[in-house]
Amino acid sequence: QKEVEQNSGPLSVPEGAIASLNCTYSDRGSQSFFWYRQYSGKSPELIMSIYSNGDKEDGRFTAQLNKASQYVSLLIRDSQPSDSATYLCAVNPGNAGNMLTFGGGTRLMVKP
């Protein structure tokens, strides 16, 4: 059973702070990793992808991957109330095509 685990939250941070979202996965052979943002009642929106160990930055978002620890994280700098959403970590095993396995999601609340 390939699993992706996230703390369900809610994670509450004040406006302007850094939000740190974490994800662990069980399949050591996983090769690609994605973060999606999902507002209530809406569909998932891709915000970051990462494939190799280290950090990847895109605007206020930084994804971090550590394959040895089977850990991927998302940092959101200067958090805004509009960032309040559920963040889904998705992992692709890489040996059977594009089959995303999602974590349960972390609900982020950014308070003004």
Partner 1 sequence: DTEVTQTPKHLVMGMTNKKSLKCEQHMGHRAMYWYKQKAKKPPELMFVYSYEKLSINESVPSRFSPECPNSSLLNLHLHALQPEDSALYLCASSQGPDSYNQAFFGQGTRLTVV
Q: Which lies closer to partner 1 via its Cβ, residue 9 or residue 17? A: 9
Q: In sequence order, which ranges of 11-84 are alpha helices (DSSP H)?
A: none
Residues 18-47 that bind partner 1 (CB under 8 A): 31-32, 34, 36, 42-46
Tell me which DSSP letter residue 18 carries. Answer: P
Least Cα distance to 37 among 101, 106, 93, 92 occurs for 106
Residues 83-112 that bind partner 1 (CB under 8 A): 88, 92-105
Q: Which lies closer to partner 1 via its Cβ, residue 2 or residue 78? A: 2
User: Nearest 5°: CA angle at 84, between 76 and 19?
Assistant: 25
Residue ranges in contact with partner 1 by CB under 8 A? 31-32, 34, 36, 42-46, 49, 51, 88, 92-105
